Amino acid sequence: MAERALIFSYSDCANYFAGTTEEPLGQSSATQLLKNSLGKPQKFPSLYAAQKALAALGYEQGWLVMHSPYDEMLGNETASLTEMPLNLTHTA
Rounded Cα distance between 6 and 28, Å, is 8
**pTM, 2 dp:** 0.82
Q: 25-33 long-range contacts, Cβ below 8 Å, gap at least 24? A: 25/63, 25/83, 26/80, 26/81, 26/82, 26/83, 27/80, 27/81, 28/65, 28/80, 28/83, 29/80, 31/6
Q: CB burial class (10 A; 0-12, 13-18, 19+) of residue 52?
A: middle
| Domain boundaries defined on the chain | 1-25+40-67+79-92
Residue with the bigger pLDDT between 56 and 68: it is 56
pLDDT in tens, 58-80: 999 999 998 776 666 666 665 44
Specify the pLDDT at position 80. 47
